[in-house]
Amino acid sequence: MMLEGKIALVTGAGRGIGRAIALTLAGYGADVAVNYSGSREKAEQTVQEIRALGRRAAAVQADVSRQEDCERMFREVAEQLGVIDILVNNAGITRDNLAVRMSEQEFEQVIDTNLKGAFFCMKLAGKQMMKKRSGRIISISSISGVRGNAGQINYCAAKAGIIGMTKCLAKELSSRGITVNAVAPGYIDTEMTAVLPEKVKEAVLAQVPLGRIGRPEDIAEAVAFLASDRAAYITGQTLQVDGGMGI
Ligand SMILES: NC(=O)c1ccc[n+]([C@@H]2O[C@H](COP(=O)([O-])OP(=O)(O)OC[C@H]3O[C@@H](n4cnc5c(N)ncnc54)[C@H](OP(=O)(O)O)[C@@H]3O)[C@@H](O)[C@H]2O)c1
């Protein structure tokens, strides 16, 4: 039980990768706050599954792109579960389009949720963790942020930004015993990728040396490791969990 006694907040944890992270952290002994934006029922379901594992859990609504929502979320989590030890910035969206066709709104929506949302939560978690002089901040970047991807100039900017913020914050918080890392998934089977045309899926699969699409649990295990004491000497890093796609 490498996370026994820890309290975690996972953003966007009602479904997809976030849900797998929440359940995996709970499986390793953590109590977990399950953030959602619109998927209330799915978040409640995740909470029930965490409680069935014998851990405490709470569903907390917040649109992470809104600073006031994030502030309320951190207050509610502290009241319901306690001050967090682990923050996982997972919430994310796509609004794909070629750069020459992309609207300002499409660009802003992705930056606001994927980058600014992570910044707001990093700031709030950083304040709380500095007082405790310990903590783990883990953000979900993407292979698109490392290598670039046609049709995703907004998403690539946000996910590369996550890597930059991770390095910055790692330096700012290291003297307080807080580590800050990112996980960059390759192609993972969730609702986000389910909408892609079959041809695109086949083309992506052909680029994966391990020969299979990733599962949300593949990402969750990497996050759990970085959240644990076993990763105490790792900070400012981006761990690619992509079946070798990024080699
Ligand atoms: N799937 C992949 O291949 C892949 C690859 C690389 C990186 N990623 C990243 O991994 C993370 C999870 O992706 P996924 O595949 O699990 O996507 P998903 O199935 O579409 O789930 C997205 C999650 O983000 C939440 N979310 C979206 N906007 C939000 C907001 N404004 N405030 C709070 N929560 C919000 C959603 O919650 P609600 O339903 O409540 O809105 C949902 O739980 C994202 O950051 C994504 O960019 C995914």
Task: Identify which of 17, 19, 111 to mutate to test ligand 1's pocket (most ligand atoms within 8 A of the CB).
Answer: 17
Contact 91, 43 (CB under 8 A): no
- Residue-level pLDDT at 209: 98
The model's pLDDT over 17-44, given as tens digits with 9 standing for 90+, comes to 999 999 999 999 999 999 999 999 999 9
- Residue-level pLDDT at 178: 98
Contact 110, 93 (CB under 8 A): yes
What is the Å distance from ligand 1's center to 206 Cα? 24
- Residue-level pLDDT at 128: 97
Contact 140, 163 (CB under 8 A): no
Spatial separation of the C-alpha atoms in residues 27 and 13, rounded to whole Å: 15
SS3 (DSSP) at 178:
strand
**Ligand 1 within 6 A of CB of 192:** yes
Contact 80, 58 (CB under 8 A): yes
The model's pLDDT over 163-204, given as tens digits with 9 standing for 90+, comes to 999 999 999 999 999 999 999 999 999 999 999 999 999 999
Each domain of the chain, given as residue ranges in start order, spans 7-239
**Ligand 1 within 6 A of CB of 93:** yes
pLDDT 10s digit of each residue in the chain, 247 long? 899 999 999 999 999 999 999 999 999 999 999 999 999 999 999 999 999 999 999 999 999 999 999 999 999 999 999 999 999 999 999 999 999 999 999 999 999 999 999 999 999 999 999 999 999 999 999 999 999 999 999 999 999 999 999 999 999 999 999 999 999 999 999 999 999 999 999 999 999 999 999 999 999 999 999 999 999 999 999 999 999 999 9
The token pair that represents 174 in the structure block = 């290291």
- Residue-level pLDDT at 107: 99
Contact 90, 35 (CB under 8 A): no
28, 36, 155, 187: which is the annotated catalytic residue? 155
Active site residue 155: yes
Closest to 118 (Cα-Cα) out of 32, 9, 2: 9
What is the Å distance from ligand 1's center to 9 Cα? 15
Question: Please, what is the end-to-end C-alpha distance for the chain in angstroms?
Answer: 32
- Residue-level pLDDT at 1: 84
Closest to 39 (Cα-Cα) out of 68, 10, 66, 60: 60
**H and E: helices and strands count for the chain:** 10, 7
CATH code linked to domain 7-239: 3.40.50.720
**Ligand 1 within 6 A of CB of 152:** no
pTM for the model stands at: 0.99
What is the Å distance from ligand 1's center to 182 Cα? 15
